[in-house]
C-alpha cells in the first residue's frame, strides 16, 4: 500500500498522484502508440471504436458523474457531430477544420439546450433531454436537403496532409490523439475551480450556491462541454460508419452511452474508460455468448437490447459503483491483505427522503 | 368542419389512453417517488397478454380483460417486490437507470414470446353512434369512458379508502408512516400492482387503434409528456395532460404536416419544461438543506 507524503498544497491537484502513477500512464500511452505494430486490422478497428466511445463517455461522465446532471440525450449530440462533420466535409472544408466545426456546432447546440434545460432538476432534465433526442432524430429524417433523410448520407473520405485517414492505422492514431486530448482536457477541468464547482453542484446545489457557485452558468458549462465531447466522438464515428442514417443516433444510442458511465462507475474518469471499453466489446461478447446458447434462444430478435437492459439492471442492483468500484474493492482487498474487513464497502440502509414536500 | 370535429374527437380519445398511461406514472411517482420508465412496456405486455387470452385461447373479451389486469398487476407487484425494493433510499438516478433497463428487458421478453409482427386484437366494440351529426365509433367511445372511469376510481381510492390514505402517508414521509404502523414496502408493491393493472387496461383500449407489437412501449414516452404537462404527481393533471397531448398531436397533423404528429408531444414537453417546469397543475417548492 502506497502512502503519499504531501509537502505542498498543489500536490492535491497534481495531474498524477505520484511518480509511479505517471510512469504507469506514460507506459500505457507508449503501448497504445506501438499497438499497430502487433495487432491486426480488425482489432485495431475495434480499439479505435473503443477510443471514440471513450471520448463521449468522458464527456458524459463530466456531466453525469461529476456535475450530477442526467442526460438521456447524448446520442443526439453524437449525431449532430457526425452530420456536421459530414456536411462540412462535403462543402469542401479540410478534415481538421470540419472536425473542429463539428465540435463547435454541437457545443453551441448543447449550450442552447442546456441553458433553459438546466433550470430543471434531475428527473425533468432527463425528460427534456429525452424529448430533445426525438426531435433531433426527426430533424435528421426530414431535413433531406442537408442530411439525406432515410436514404442516408455518405461521409467523404477524410484526408490530412495527403494521408487518407480511412486506412486503419492512421485512423487509429487520429482516434488516439483525440481520446488522449479529451481525457487531458477533462482531467484538467476537473482539477480547476470549474471542476470543483461541478462536484459541489452534484453533492448539494443549495450548499454550492451559498458558497458562491453560479449554478446556471456552471451547469450550462458542464452541459455544453459534454455536448462538445459527444460532437467530437460523433465526427470520428462518422468516418468509422462511412454512411450516416438517422436511426443510428436515436434513444438506443443515448441509453448505450448512459450504460457506459453507469457500468464504468459514476464519478471517475477511469470508470468512463472502463465503460467505453465494455460497451464497445459487448457485441463481441454477445456474439460469443450467442454461440454457446441453444439455437432457439440465440436467434431471437431483441436479444441484444434485452441483454443491455439486463446488464444495466444487474449493475444498478449489485454494483452501483460500476467496474471502477469493483476494481477499487479488489485493490483494497490486496492492499490490506490479511486484515481485510468485509464490512468496509457495505451499503448503508436508507429511507428515501422526499424531494417534493420541501 | 365536421372533419375537424372528428379529428378533435379522435385526439381526445387517444389522449384519454395517454392519460391512463400517465395515470400509471403519476400513481407510482406520487406514492413511491420512483419514475417508472417501463410503464409503456407494461402496457405492451398487457396488450400481448390480452391477445393471448382472446385470440390464442379463445376467452371472452371481458373475462380476458380481467385476467390480463391480474396478470400485469402481478408482474408490477413482482417488479417492485423483487427488484425495486432493493434500492429504496438510493439516489433518483439509479432508479431511473433501473427502470430504463427493465423496460428494455420487458421489450426483449415481449418480442421473444410474441414475435415481431403486428397482431390484431379483436374487440366487441363495433359500429358507431351519431352525436349531433358527428360520427363517433364505439372504439373511440370505449377509450374515453374507460379513461374517465379509471381516473375517477383511482381518485376515490386515494381519497376515501384506508389503504389509499395510508399510501398518501407513505408517500409524504416513509419513515413517519412506518412508525405509525403503515406497511410501507407492501403498499409500494400494491401501488405498482395497481399501476400495472391500469397499464394493462390502457393497452387493451389502445390496441384497436395501433395494432399490438413491441413498439407499443414507445407510447409510454409520449405519455411522459402528458404526465409532465399536467404536473408530475397530480391525478387530474395526468388526465388533462393526456387529453391535451392527444389533441395537440391530431391538430398538428391536421394543420401542419402529418409528420408533426410524431414529435408534437415532445415539442410540447420541451416547451412546457422551459416555460413552466412544474407543469400546468403541479406545485413546486424550495428544497431545504
The CA distance from B81 to B86, in Å, is 8
How crowded is residue A342: how many other Cβ atoms within 10 Å of its Cβ?
A: 7
- Terminal Cα-to-Cα distance of chain A (whole angstroms): 45
Q: How many Å apart are CA B18 and CA A35, to the nearest integer? A: 54
* A159: enclosing H helix or E strand: strand A159-160
Minimal Cα–Cα distance from B97 to chain A, Å? 7
**pLDDT score for B279:** 60
Domain locations along chain B: 2-272
CATH node for A39-281: 1.10.3470
- Contact: A309, B102; criterion CB under 8 Å: yes
Helix and strand counts by DSSP (H, E) for chain A: 15, 4
> What gap in Å lies between CA A265 and CA A322, rounded to an integer?
4
Chain B contacts of A134, Cβ < 8 Å? 221, 262-263, 266
SS3 content of chain B, % helix, strand, coil (to 5): 75, 5, 20
Q: Which of B107, B178, B289 sits opposite A305 (nearest CB)?
A: B107
Instruction: Give per-residue pLDDT as tens, B176-233.
Output: 888 988 888 888 899 999 999 998 988 888 887 777 877 787 788 888 888 888 777 7
CA distance A322 to A316: 8
Position with higher pLDDT, A306 vs A193: A193
Q: In 10 A of CB A65, how many CB atoms?
A: 27
At residue A122, the pLDDT reads 66
* Rounded alpha-carbon distances, angstroms, from residue A280 to A36, A198, A253: 19, 28, 12
pLDDT tens by residue, A210-253: 999 988 889 899 999 999 999 999 999 988 888 888 888 888 88
What mean pLDDT is reported for chain B?
A: 82
For residues B252 and B80, is the Cβ–Cβ distance under 8 A?
A: no
- Which residue in chain A is spatially nearest to B261 when comparing CA positions? A138
At residue B287, does pLDDT exceed 60?
no
B52 close to B152: Cβ distance less than 8 angstroms: no
Q: Do B98 and A138 touch (CB under 8 A)?
A: no
Query: ipTM higher than 0.95?
Result: no
Beta bridge partners of B136: B129
pLDDT band at A298 (very low <50, low <70, confident <90, very high): low
Distance CA(B44)–CA(B215), nearest Å, equals 8
Per-residue confidence (pLDDT) for residue A42, from 0 to 100: 85
**Interval B66-86 mean pLDDT:** 90
- The interface residues of chain A toward chain B in range 2-61, judged by CB-CB distance below 8 A, are none
pLDDT digits (tens, 9 = 90+) for A249-283: 888 888 889 889 988 988 889 999 999 999 888 88
The architecture of the domain spanning B2-272 is Orthogonal Bundle (1.10)
Structural element, H or E, at residue B259? none
Residues of chain B with C-beta less than 8 angstroms from the C-beta of A127: 224, 228, 269, 273
Amino acid at each position: 500500500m502506497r502512502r503519499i507524503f504531501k509537502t505542498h498544497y498543489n500536490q492535491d491537484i497534481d495531474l498524477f498522484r505520484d511518480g509511479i502513477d505517471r510512469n504507469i500512464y506514460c507506459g500505457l500511452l507508449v503501448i497504445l502508440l506501438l499497438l499497430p505494430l502487433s495487432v491486426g486490422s480488425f482489432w485495431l478497428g475495434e480499439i479505435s471504436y473503443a477510443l471514440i466511445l471513450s471520448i463521449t463517455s468522458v464527456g458524459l461522465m463530466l456531466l453525469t458523474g461529476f456535475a450530477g446532471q442526467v442526460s438521456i440525450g447524448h446520442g443526439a449530440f453524437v449525431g449532430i457531430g457526425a452530420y456536421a462533420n459530414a456536411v462540412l466535409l462535403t462543402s469542401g472544408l479540410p478534415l481538421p477544420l470540419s472536425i473542429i466545426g463539428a465540435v463547435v456546432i454541437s457545443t453551441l447546440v448543447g449550450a442552447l439546450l442546456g441553458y433553459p434545460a438546466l433550470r430543471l432538476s434531475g428527473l425533468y432534465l432527463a425528460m427534456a433531454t429525452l424529448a430533445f433526442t426525438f426531435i433531433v432524430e426527426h430533424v435528421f429524417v426530414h431535413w433531406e436537403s442537408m442530411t439525406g433523410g432515410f436514404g442516408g448520407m455518405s461521409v467523404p473520405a477524410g484526408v490530412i496532409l495527403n494521408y487518407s485517414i480511412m486506412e486503419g492505422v492512421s485512423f487509429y492514431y487520429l482516434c488516439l490523439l483525440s481520446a488522449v486530448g479529451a481525457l487531458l482536457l477533462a482531467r484538467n477541468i476537473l482539477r480547476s475551480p470549474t471542476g470543483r464547482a461541478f462536484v459541489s453542484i452534484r453533492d448539494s446545489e443549495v450548499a454550492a450556491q451559498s458558497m458562491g457557485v453560479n449554478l446556471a452558468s456552471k451547469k450550462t458549462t458542464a452541459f455544453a462541454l459534454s455536448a462538445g465531447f459527444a460532437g467530437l466522438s460523433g465526427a470520428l464515428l462518422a468516418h468509422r460508419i462511412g454512411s450516416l442514417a438517422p436511426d443510428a443516433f436515436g434513444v438506443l444510442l443515448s441509453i448505450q452511452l448512459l450504460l457506459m458511465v453507469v457500468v464504468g462507475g459514476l464519478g471517475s474518469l477511469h470508470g468512463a474508460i472502463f465503460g467505453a471499453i465494455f460497451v464497445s466489446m459487448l457485441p463481441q461478447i454477445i456474439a460469443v455468448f450467442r454461440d454457446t446458447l441453444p439455437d432457439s434462444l440465440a436467434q431471437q430478435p431483441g436479444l441484444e437490447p434485452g441483454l443491455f437492459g439486463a446488464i444495466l439492471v444487474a449493475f444498478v442492483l449489485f454494483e452501483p459503483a460500476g467496474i471502477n468500484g469493483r476494481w477499487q474493492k479488489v485493490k483494497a482487498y490486496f492492499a490490506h491483505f490479511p486484515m481485510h474487513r468485509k464490512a468496509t464497502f457495505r451499503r448503508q440502509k436508507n429511507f428515501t427522503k422526499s424531494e417534493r414536500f420541501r | 368542419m365536421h372533419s375537424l370535429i372528428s379529428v378533435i374527437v379522435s385526439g381526445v380519445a387517444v389522449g384519454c389512453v395517454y392519460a391512463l398511461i400517465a395515470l400509471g406514472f403519476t400513481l407510482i411517482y406520487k406514492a413511491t417517488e420512483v419514475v417508472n420508465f417501463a410503464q409503456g412496456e407494461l402496457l405492451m405486455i398487457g396488450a400481448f397478454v390480452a391477445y393471448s387470452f382472446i385470440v390464442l385461447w379463445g376467452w371472452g373479451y371481458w373475462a380476458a380483460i380481467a385476467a390480463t389486469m391480474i396478470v400485469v398487476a402481478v408482474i408490477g407487484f413482482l417488479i417492485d417486490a423483487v427488484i425495486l425494493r432493493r434500492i429504496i433510499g438510493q439516489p433518483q438516478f439509479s432508479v431511473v437507470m433501473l427502470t430504463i433497463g427493465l423496460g428494455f428487458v420487458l421489450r426483449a421478453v415481449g418480442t421473444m414470446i410474441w414475435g415481431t409482427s403486428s397482431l390484431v386484437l379483436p374487440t366487441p366494440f363495433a359500429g358507431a353512434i351519431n352525436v349531433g351529426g358527428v360520427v363517433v365509433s364505439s372504439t373511440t367511445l370505449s377509450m374515453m369512458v374507460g379513461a374517465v372511469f379509471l381516473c375517477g376510481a383511482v381518485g376515490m381510492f386515494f381519497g376515501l379508502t384506508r389503504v389509499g390514505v395510508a399510501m398518501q402517508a407513505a408517500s409524504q414521509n416513509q419513515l413517519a408512516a412506518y412508525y405509525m404502523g403503515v406497511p410501507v414496502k407492501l403498499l409500494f408493491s400494491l401501488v405498482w400492482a395497481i399501476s400495472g393493472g391500469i397499464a394493462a387496461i390502457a393497452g387493451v383500449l389502445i390496441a384497436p387503434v395501433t395494432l399490438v407489437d413491441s413498439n407499443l412501449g414507445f407510447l409510454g414516452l409520449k405519455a411522459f409528456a402528458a404526465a409532465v404537462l399536467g404536473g408530475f404527481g397530480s391525478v387530474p393533471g395526468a388526465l388533462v395532460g393526456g387529453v391535451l397531448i392527444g389533441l395537440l398531436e391530431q391538430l398538428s397533423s391536421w394543420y401542419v404536416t402529418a409528420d408533426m404528429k410524431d414529435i408534437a408531444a415532445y415539442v410540447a414537453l420541451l416547451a412546457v419544461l422551459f416555460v413552466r417546469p412544474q407543469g400546468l397543475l403541479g406545485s413546486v417548492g424550495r428544497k431545504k438543506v
